Chain A
Amino acid sequence: MAEILKKYKWMGPIIQKMDRDTKKVFMKSFRMRDKNFFPEGDYKADVKNLVNCMLCPNMCRFDCGTLQASQKETMSPAYKARIGYYLTIGKIDYNDSEFVNLMYKCTNEENCKVWCPFGFSVVSLLETVRDDINAKGYMPDYCKEQVKKLKDSNTIEGYNIFETYKENGIENIETDGNDDVFYYLGCESMKFPEVIKANMNILKKAGIKFSTNLDSKVCCGGPLFNIRDLTTAKDFAEKNKSLIESTGAKIIVSDCPGCVLTLTKRYEGLGIKIDKKIIHIVEYIKKLLDEGKIKPTKNISDDLKKVTIHDPCLIARNMEDTSSIRDILGKIPGLELVEPRFNKEDVHCCGWSGTAHWVDRDLAIKEASIRVSELKDTGAEVFVSACPLCELGLAYGLKEDEKEKIKIKDVSELLIKVL
């Protein structure tokens, strides 16, 4: 209220000049504002900001990944907020599955936050609507399926993907409780064995004592935060806290930005704090290079010479680190980096973050293909990133005839080749 009074200080003289009848109606509307439009009720939805968003003329629309991918008003941010508000106040029924589904058609990239006059992201509002969807028993099947997979297999894949390390030739290093570093692998990272091998070799070359604990490794629970099953998420947080603390490591490095976000800010939101330095591996590798613990000695091969970069949105916008990847690439002899449009904190999404790819796979693929075409515009045929989901998404965005020509690489895969 104090904030409103300060903002509308200029209204003071106007209110004073109002005639008696007008003043009476105005003051009543002022007093009744919350009751009329933000009534207390059995919901968790952030109604005030849903209203702020739905009554905005869509100031972020031009940078909303799902809207740009679909080119349909249905996907506009303010419309999503409008539906969220109407679901909350009972104007639209939760049985209307298409309206509920819209609450999940977001790729969590948070480009909207950059342009929002209020400073929030749309997904942060949609998550509060999802809380109510779950509480009222309307969790969509595609979310239930993810929860089931996580409960059954401890990973997002429906089987324990960490066990595949054996068949993929990935070394597992079990902790002796006295590690310098714990290398925390993401579920999706397991789909990229060469990236894991590269990261492990980099750590070994730098003489770092580390472990991976793949026999007892579980998902960070990140998808549960998108689904808003926070009870199950808490179970995963407890498991991970205990696993991480058992290693004795002070520094936790992960190859997945989603895992870093979950292990830190998201767990803290549940009241679970892991008292370790938890960072993305690019930040750590950059430090190893700066300290001279690893030294590039060879030139990069010709086929990997000209590269462009896809900044993972979580690293660029959430962790506010756009320099580590570039610093690493900058130290690879012979490498030419061509920056794409929409780079660093302005990056456009790979399509594979958030919940959109579960509810509308075609939409996510379309978003990925838009990003692929922006990267292709650089003329580079090697796309470098540092996130398994981005690398997965970009691969989905490639057309059939591009798959052989374009290489999607993790920054570690390039670095290890010159060490």
Chain B
Amino acid sequence: MKFDEFELIYKNDHKEIKNKAKSESKLAEILGKQNVSTEPIDIFAYTKDSTLIAFNWTLQGKIASLPDIITWPETVEQISEILKYANKEKIPVIPYAEGSGVVGGALAIRGGIILDMKKFNKVIEINDKDLTVTAQTGINGMNLERFLNDKGYTTGHIPQSLYTSSLGGWIAHRAAGQFSTKYGKIEDIVMGMEIVLPQGDIINFKPIARASTGPQFDKLFIGGEGTLGIVTKATLKIWPYPEKRTLISYAFPTFEDSLEATRQILRQQIYPAVMRIYDADETFRHFGHLEKAKDKVMVVFVCEGIGRLVDLEEQITKETCEKNNGIECGEEPVEHWFETRFKVTDTSSTPTFQMVFDTIEIGFLWDKAADMYHSVIETTKKVKGIVMITAHVSHFYPNGVGFYFTFAGVPPKEKTDLEFYQEVWDTVIKTVEDCGGSFGHHHGVGINRSKWMPVEWGKSFDTLKSIKKLLDPNNILNPGKIYENPWEERGEN
């Protein structure tokens, strides 16, 4: 196996670690031989994540990154020892679990040691009275959720990546599930954590409902993307599995009508678990088979929980939609959404047409949300080669929303796939920032958003960088992201 056969995308800052055999041998002392590998069959498996452009690269026989050593720790103490060793030798360490990240967060763009968390896959405890579950963070999302479902609970955190992502990945990237209007984002769900800091110290934030014990330091590590520490265990809120679920859908004449209806629903303190607005183009794509949805904006709702409350939520949701010109479309569109939400066949087919596509989610307050949406659509349409830019509103809060833009394009001759991809990303994010929004809602920063960190954070970014330097003076944990701009050091595609 020759890795040279596979073009390396992030190659400019890639360095093979010195004296790999010595490191492998030291890591084997810590982990046991069976939990360390430099075999090409293993290394090659960790050369990509689920960033959508990585699927194009895979098809074209390219690899995004090239780690040097793969490790599979089984205890928190082993992780601590790995990090101590990595600090001594100044070797990058990149946490990895299910590889479902879509912004390059788990790519070893500077080589180094992959720390695969998959063996941290145990559910430790469910506490019925406290309504909590404590689990190791390498556990797959579906395996955690179905374990809870069997016992009569849910976390309510159901992302589209449920089958393919891990608890640790959710925490690292400050993820959101599709039922977040009712259950919250992961930062609302996590109550306690065990973390290994970059220099190997093991710290704990005990689970607590609310506290007044100084700054809320634990939040720093939710969204740390493996740069500030490795979360090894977490305690989450859980809920009794909902006894009733009601499916509602309405078609609206305009995007503005749909936004107004959903805003008013939340203002009345009604929280359907799922709310999704599809702009006219996405309505045509997903609900084109429905006559009532023709040239309209489709909105789907799922209300769930205790029967009597659900009935009330249904009543108010329907009244508010109708007051805002909504036309009731029944359960079928929501059933269609349930049936197709995990059908990710486009990730497989689009690259074969040599199209570049991706999704970009952003956060925005209610006030100028519609203006921002139109601005993003208009500015992105001007990028040469773009053939599609659409959106749905995927997450709803009393004070704002999360938008989910989808774009597809054919890179013009003078641009590589990556250059075209970057141009679209930069266009969307610049527009969102210009309009006063936040550049990301739940996929994280990773590689794709790093260059925009100074704009998003302003002066507070310097403080964040100082914290990073304090915790990780040798910059060994997941280097090249968030605090730096990996797209400046990109290789040719």
Q: Give A contacts to B, CB under 8 Å.
A: 4, 9-10, 14-15, 17-18, 21-22, 25-26, 29-30, 33, 36-38, 51-63, 71-74, 76, 79, 82-83, 86, 91-93, 96, 98-99, 102, 115, 117-118, 341
Contacts and interface: CB of A to CB of B under 8 A. Distances in A.
B412 A22 contact: yes
Contacts of B409: 22
A180 to B, nearest CB: 44
28 contacts: A4-B349, A14-B388, A18-B410, A26-B387, A30-B353, A37-B352, A51-B59, A52-B345, A52-B349, A53-B348, A55-B58, A57-B344, A59-B163, A59-B342, A61-B98, A61-B140, A71-B138, A72-B42, A73-B46, A73-B116, A73-B118, A74-B42, A82-B58, A92-B5, A102-B41, A117-B343, A117-B345, A118-B348
B61 interface: yes
Given A25-B410, A37-B59, A99-B1, A59 B344 contact: yes
B348 A51 contact: yes
Nearest to A93: B1
A60 B163 contact: yes
Contacts of B99: 58, 73, 76
B40 A98 contact: yes
Interface string B214-236: 00000000000000000000000
Contacts of A51: 59, 348, 352
Nearest to B141: A62
The 7 closest A-B pairs by CB, nearest first: A71-B118, A29-B354, A55-B348, A73-B45, A62-B140, A98-B41, A62-B142
Which of A52, A72, A93, A341 is the most central at the interface, judged by chain B CB atoms within 10 Å of its CB? A72
A80 B29 CA distance: 30
B55 interface: yes
Interface in B51-66: 55, 58-59, 61
B411 to A, nearest CB: 8
Contacts of B285: 10
B164 A57 contact: yes
B348 A72 contact: no
A364 B55 CA distance: 30
A17 B281 CA distance: 13
B61 A61 contact: no
Contact of A115 (B40, B59, B163, B355): B163
A74 B412 contact: no
Nearest to B118: A71
A118 B353 contact: no
B341 to A, nearest CB: 11
A38 to B, nearest CB: 8
Interface of B: 1, 5-6, 39-42, 44-46, 50, 55, 58-59, 61, 70, 72, 96, 98-100, 116, 118-119, 121, 138, 140-143, 150, 161, 163-164, 284-285, 288, 342-345, 347-349, 351-355, 384-385, 387-388, 409-410, 412-413
Contacts of B353: 26, 29-30, 33
Which of A4, A29, A62 is the most central at the interface, judged by chain B CB atoms within 10 Å of its CB? A62
B347 A55 contact: yes
Given A26-B353, A82-B58, A72 B50 contact: no
Contacts of B50: 57
A21 B412 CA distance: 8
Contacts of B141: 62
A369 to B, nearest CB: 14
A10 B284 contact: yes
B345 A99 contact: no
Contacts of A98: 1, 39-41
Nearest to B100: A57
Contact of B352 (A25, A33, A56, A74): A33
B59 A71 contact: no
A397 B234 CA distance: 30
A29 B385 contact: no
B344 A56 contact: yes
Nearest to B54: A55
A79 B45 contact: yes
Contacts of A62: 140-143, 163-164
Contacts of A17: 387
Contacts of B413: 21, 25
A37 B59 CA distance: 8
B387 A22 contact: yes
Contact of B344 (A10, A74, A117): A117
Contact of A55 (B6, B39, B161, B351): B351
Nearest to A56: B348
A136 B16 CA distance: 35
B288 A9 contact: yes
Given A29-B353, A29-B410, A73-B96, A56 B163 contact: no
A74 B45 contact: yes
Contacts of B342: 59, 115, 117
Contacts of A96: 1, 40
Contact of A56 (B5, B39, B347): B347
Contact of B41 (A33, A91, A99): A99
A52 B348 contact: yes
Contacts of B121: 71
A113 to B, nearest CB: 14
Contact of B116 (A22, A30, A56, A72): A72
A88 to B, nearest CB: 12
Nearest to B43: A74
Contacts of A30: 353
A83 B150 CA distance: 36
A22 B59 contact: no
Given A56-B344, A62-B163, A14 B387 contact: yes
